[in-house]
Chains A and B, each alone.
Chain A
Amino acid sequence: MIKKVRQHINQNEPLLFENSSPGKRGYQLPPLDVPSVDTAAALGASNIRAEIEGFPEVSEVEAIRHFTRLSTHNYAIDLGLYPLGSCTMKYNPRVNEQVARIEGLAWAHPYQPESLSQGILEVMGTLEKILAEITGMDEVTLQPAAGAHGEFTGILLIRALLQSQGNARKKLLIPDSAHGTNPATATMAGYKVENIKSNERGMVDVESLARAVDEDVAALMITNPNTLGVFEENITRIAEILHSKGALVYMDGANMNALVGVARPGDFGVDVMHLNLHKTFSTPHGGGGPGSGPVAVKKHLIPFLPKPRLERVGERWTWNYDRPQSVGRVRAFYGNIGMHVRALAYIMAHGGDGLRNATLDAVLNANYIRALIEPYYDLPHKAPTMHECVFSDERQTKRGVHTGDIAKRLIDYGFHPYTVSFPLIVHGAMMIEPTETESKAELDLFVDALISIAAEIDTDPELVLKAPHHTRTSRVDEVTAARKPIVRWKGVTEPRP
């Protein structure tokens, strides 16, 4: 039975371009208080465009209705559980949005004098120090713009350190359960990828790892807890194996929501890692970004951090550009500062104890779901669950129903689906991460939905195969979208190529 939702009307909305009428405007500019310049004389007639062909022309009311109507076509954390494994979809406190818009912070120009930037630098300096404490690392750079950008930065640091010792080495070891960003990052940083197979418990197999580590290996990129939500129990031994051959340990910190206040990567042998402020530290996902991917390092990697480095000199914060061993800049200016403000606000609201409690609740919620779902769905890896659990569709596949179908049917029950078909090492994976945000009541509704769907698959698999039934948009034809791509509006009359 569907308890959480019933259908309600929401409005259709054409594209902006279809809604446009010549001459309509939604803007006002003040009268020009200086003489108007002749554009052709100033810029050269051939440099001036006639018009922006096709650009929208709508009134202010039409604009706000357009975006408001479209917003009602979205699901969001503000509407309920968003159990995407590996994505840590937790509540985004609104005070964070408020403080990020404080004028002195939001309107700070990156080139304004340091003497007039001490407030924002204090925020950044404070956040760096706290993130170092949380991770057990020695220093943090806030420059990377997202998790994958942090990975890239971290691997460049490893390369620079090894290069300074005379040999950058050739390859990175990456477990087969890793996020796709890990191997893609390796390539961008000029390393070959060697995959490491997981053992039957879903962990890195220490013996085969030991065999794979040689003088060509620059580092292991490991996610801990891994993408099965399993803590790599041999992590200190794994780090010893890498270190004994002069290689390093990179940790993908996407799953830090399972560890904050409980265990610190810096205490279990990690040399360098990134954090996702948009996961663990609650900055909003915003439909795909922005994120922020701070990188935390141990002492031996500090000289190579991206420049400029924020430093405290006496009573003032200052940027140090004199960093001869730095890997260089990974982006212009200093990072996604607006995300740093939000993350610090989140940390301040929780305090040390609150952060730890959030971890405990996140792990509790994942284990609760695991316990209640396990009788109905196959759980291929039985190792203890941390912040997320991964089921497989093995039982349901016998009825012709796959993880993607179950996901679509969950939508009818009023939930965003779990992560589908990832990690790749689980066939038909259903990866569930509830986060600490959810109450028992919301979790119970979700569990009921999954149990109910399991029953539907036994009695009426077609119902699940054709889901969702109650959404304004039914299943979308992704095949035609990819075969004949239409990636911009070309006008109503133009037929599909």
Chain B
Amino acid sequence: MYPANFHYTKEHEWVRVEGDVGVVGITDHAQKELGDIVYVDLPKPGTHLDQGKTLGSVESVKAVSDIYAPVSGEVVEVNALLSTAPEKLNEDPHGDAWLVKLKLSAPDEIKRLLSAEDYQNYVGAEEAGH
């Protein structure tokens, strides 16, 4: 379910490292909780984000949820697909519907994120608690 080579946060973001760049997205669990996503608001390339700061937001018809930067870095690319097809975030959250690519400014932060197994256990517990 959750790719083993991704790193996860308790706020339901993931990051995949490609050299000195981190590809960031939201998890399948997050997209399910949000329901039909209608709009994705992302930062401009060049924006510097600190870990844990608001990266952008995703909207359903009747809710807005903030997304937080899982790691620190500068935005080098924004996924243009999402501006015309926000529904992709419901369909392929771990693949085509990544959000931004960050040039990592503190790569060590990765180590403190959750593994796929830890994240699975975490959302498993959250779902059981419903």
Contacts and interface: CB of A to CB of B under 8 A. Distances in A.
| Direct touching of A and B (C-beta under 8 Å) | yes
B66 to A, nearest CB: 16
Query: For chain B, what secondary structure do more than half of its interface residues adopt (helix, strand, loop), or is it mixed?
Result: loop
A482 B38 CA distance: 6
A479 B62 contact: no
A226 B86 CA distance: 37
B62 A483 contact: no
Interface string B32-48: 00001011000000000
Interface of B: 36, 38-39, 59, 61-62, 86-87
A479 B59 CA distance: 11
A482 B86 CA distance: 10
Contacts, number: 13
Interface residues of A, number: 5
Interface of A: 421, 478-479, 482-483
A483 B84 CA distance: 8
Contacts of A479: 36, 38, 61
Nearest to B35: A479
Contacts of B86: 483
B127 to A, nearest CB: 15
Nearest to B61: A478
A174 to B, nearest CB: 18
A475 to B, nearest CB: 13
A421 B86 CA distance: 25
Contacts of A483: 38-39, 86-87
Nearest to B59: A482
Contacts of B39: 482-483
Nearest to A404: B62
13 contacts: A421-B62, A478-B61, A479-B36, A479-B38, A479-B61, A482-B38, A482-B39, A482-B59, A482-B61, A483-B38, A483-B39, A483-B86, A483-B87
Contacts of B61: 478-479, 482
A88 B38 CA distance: 32
Contacts of A482: 38-39, 59, 61
User: Which 6 A-B pairs have CB atoms at the shortest separation, nearest pair first?
Assistant: A482-B38, A479-B36, A483-B38, A478-B61, A482-B61, A483-B86
